[in-house]
Structures are given as structure tokens and as C-alpha cells.
Amino acid sequence: MAYVIVEPCINVKDRACVEVCPVDCIYEGADQLFIHPDECIDCGACEPVCPVKAIFAEDETPEQWKHFIELNKQFFKDNPSVKPASKA
């Protein structure tokens, strides 16, 4: 089970999560960041540093944002050659 980034990240893309991710599994989309579900090691390092509280473990995603789980997976299907977000 991976972590997922949900609605509060849209048009924010703070990148604090990118800085702490030990496996570089966070990618930048047009309006938000995405966590690659096959690369995430479920360490949870990203969750506490998100200033807008947009990161959840898949099974802890609030009901109103559960559709972001599929949107996250679809992002990687639609963008197979996307590169991880770069650290500052």
C-alpha cells in the first residue's frame, strides 16, 4: 500500500515531501504532486512534512478524497516516462 497526495496539494506543490522522500517516488504533475504507487516504500516520511495535510496512506484517505487513489495511479499510466520531482 502506498501513500497518496490529495486535493489540498492542487496548485500548491510545496515540495517538502520531495525533500524527505528516501526513494524519490514523488513526481510533479501539471497542478499537483503524485506518489508512484509501485515505488513508494510506505515509510511515511512525506506525510508529517506536508504543510497542507494532503498526504495519506491509501487506507487512511478520507472518503471525500478516495478518488485521488485512482487519479494517482492513472497519472503514471498516462505518463510512463515522467521523471521524479527534483530535490532543491
Q: Are 55 and 15 in contact (CB under 8 A)?
A: no
Q: Are 19 and 88 in contact (CB under 8 A)?
A: yes
Tell me, what's the pLDDT at 44?
Answer: 97
Q: Domains of the chain, with CATH numbers?
A: 3-78 (3.30.70.20)
Q: What would the pLDDT profile of 42-76 be if each residue is shown by its tens digit?
A: 999 999 999 999 999 999 999 999 999 999 999 99
Tell me, what's the pLDDT at 88?
Answer: 65
Tell me, what's the pLDDT at 87?
Answer: 78
pLDDT greater than 80 at residue 1? no
State the average pLDDT for the chain.
Answer: 95
pLDDT greater than 90 at residue 78? yes
